[in-house]
Amino acid sequence: MKKALLIIFFLLLPVNLNAENISKVYFAGGCFWCMEESFDKVNGVIETISGYSGGHVKNPKYKDVVKNITGHYETLEITYDSSITNFKKLLEIYWINIDPFDEDGQFCDKGESYKSVVFFENIDQKKIIKASIKNIENKFNKKVVTYVKKFKEFYIAETYHQDYYEKNFIRYLMYKKGCQREETLNKIWG
């Protein structure tokens, strides 16, 4: 279904979309299912892929990532049209979808693989991230514990993780509600 929608999307794109406008960003925000849902709705986002990044094991598997033996984080690869949105806007959306003060993971998912990480690919992105963190810390008078790491490699997660929130809607809603994700985000961000 998603592939068919992507094909239709690309066929209906304005002529000015070209490879120069296509960019990627990598965010780890706990459960990648929830992150996927949040970013799929964003104008200018072309595709989201759940996967793993930040670790030392090549081609990691979910069962090993969640055991915290790979060094990887559940990460979302976001492909976007930079003529519609940009890194800074996507970073702002990222923040309001995580708890940047939780040093143990995110929501009900705890452990190293569920910690929040913003990956940067260049010095400009790193500066934007650092300024954004400073603004959040000033606003809340609390230390942001989200890691800032240089992006190295992204590994696509197993097929059953892709578009999980769409393919397993009821299960996903039960998980999301059970983790009190929305309630926690509302307490933090309003």
Which sequence positions are flagged as catalytic? 31
Rounded Cα distance, 66 and 10, in Å: 35
Give the start-end residues of each E strand in the chain. 22-29, 45-53, 73-81, 105-106, 109-110, 116-120, 147-150, 154-156
Angle between helices 87-95 and 32-40 (to 10 degrees): 130
